[in-house]
Structure 1
């Protein structure tokens, strides 16, 4: 997790009037477009009302730092939609299928702290429903992706345990080998996993993020720092970084296992639910994790081990699974949907082909600190080529036929 900010403590369950109904009829008007300006200290939403259906928030960042924009439920806790990593001077869109009700909007400059400019947002009109055929496709997609998420977290439990066992035993070479492999399942479903309150900070916060939030530094990256302690001392020359003794190793390993087990319990709980826009927005959220200023592309995610390419590929794979889950729905939305699917098929293939030039899970990837800036720029260009059409997926899947 590259985030240096805490999330609101929320369940991932969206029920009742807030639940996404799915696709709207193809003769619906285009999504309501609402400009949003995120400044250094405010979040200016042009209008505080909208009619139910697809709403597109067009967020422009006029501040000096990266920002993010959220739509919250009426309790101010549950996240209805979010768009992250909006660089200074740039714009991003967030499309949300909105049911009648009361919401809040808020921006978070720097992606740290409470957020600024939280304001009421009201949606009027009728509840949005899906046609019977669309609803069946939506239900199938949600069931498929929910099962995928549960499977990934189940595999995360065993993969993490193999890693922590090697670390506890002092088998550092094996622990270093397993570190990037243990993280693959987490990185594939990271936007889902990161919605479980304080589990994501415990499992995957980096050292600067934990310290900025006043949290204990635990999880994958705490063990990473201990396994690559010479690199840690180079990165933090003003600190007296000492290796953990066996008791210290056992404590951080036990904590990581316990937190992963808690994540498993929550994902496998009877009331665990996902919605169609959890899938579509989660797909772009995974690519946001790659491109973030302290993420995989800049080489900041695994700052000691330099195993960022493993995480990079896992995020892309997770995004592709989310996309493939709703691909047929998108393709059925007229000419624009067909064109979008063709573009995404091409760009996902190109992204994976480029990453394959650096290695694989089985053979291993090159250390990311050996990838020069020109090569990183090429990875970034391909990531942008994939992210741009993927950002249109939610809008398309929600059922608006933009071609007619």
Structure 2
């Protein structure tokens, strides 16, 4: 008999998953949207719709398959946006790129050759590209520590100490620390948000070849390689075997629906998928899907208050927000570099990809991530042919 009430243990697990998933990476999403030219209202809308999209998608998919299908926004994708140049037509062109990336994800689920092509990109190169994207962001906390020590150092120390106690709560603890820093540095000025409830803001998309090649395709690749495909692998490691193509198309469809409201990319989760799928979620594997459902509910609640979060964040020094972004990504950077260098025969190609991506160059309108993957891919093909 199907149970229609979530076990209490899965409610608490869902809350923890949502806190970790949202508060560990929302500064990265805000940085990415700001780099794309989003106004404060558009950024609040993007954060809100990203949270609601992943929440609703997790609820629907988990109920449909009766499996713990955890959904997230693309943190690596947001990091990619944060180091990319603002499109010529501003945020309207960025939303067009978000739509293209979502369409590619849907197509990857429906058309197997594209899905196989995305999966065929060497893991070492995909991780090297991600590492190159993350490196400039992970440097920010230490630049802030030199230029703004009174604000940045408490956040860095909080993140480090909390991480020694429980790594999952290191970044949420740093967020709390940053909030206290903002309040203490505000003096007599009010940091209370003007509004508490968010409202969606429609941005009519604009399309260009430059943004498709420079933003949409890298966003699709990094999201598939570091979120969607690993997310499937995590679920399989716990004995859950949903059809990958349908899941890819579902999260891609959610991206299409939320992109005009500013959300960059909805995808399968990896870390929080493990939290929903293991024995701590619930002793009975058949009941663990409720953890993913409840996390979706809490994501939606957090999304409704996104305008208050962005309003409060607007009072923070940009270097302080950069500090939060950097500490949230250091662990991801370490894992990506490790994975990039794991295969000795592919290290040279991976390092070329990493170095070119981290350089931030733009040639012929194509960003560093595209050139890094192209040059690294060419070096990979040459080296494998020689062997």
Name the TM-score, length of structure 2 as normaliser: 0.28
Greater fraction strand: 1
Larger Rg: 1
